[in-house]
Amino acid sequence: MGIIWTIVIGFIAGVIAKFIMPCSNEPSGFILTTILGIVGALVASFLGQALGWYAPGQGAGLIGAVIGAIVLLVVWGAIAKRRV
């Protein structure tokens, strides 16, 4: 059940992040949006644990996942601009 919950939260976080930060060169589609949210949650969890906001083994919630996904979209946009 934990994996399914992670996928659902990841998808919701990815959709919210893409709604907040619309960009023409962003990854699109159901799978990439879900992956964006899941990786955003992992990034937020890692940074939160490194800064002492989360205990070891504790993950970021929905807000942290959205912030992590927004950070990933900003990085994606910076990399995509360089290629064009």
CA-based nearest residue to 33, from 18, 20, 43: 18
pLDDT, tens only, 4-51: 777 777 788 888 888 887 766 666 677 777 788 888 888 888 888 888
Q: What is the pLDDT of residue 26?
A: 63
Task: Output b/e per residue, 50-78; b: 16+ Cβ within 10 A.
Answer: eeeebeeeebbeeebbbbbbbbbbeebee
Domain layout of the chain by residue ranges: 2-83
DSSP tag of 60: P
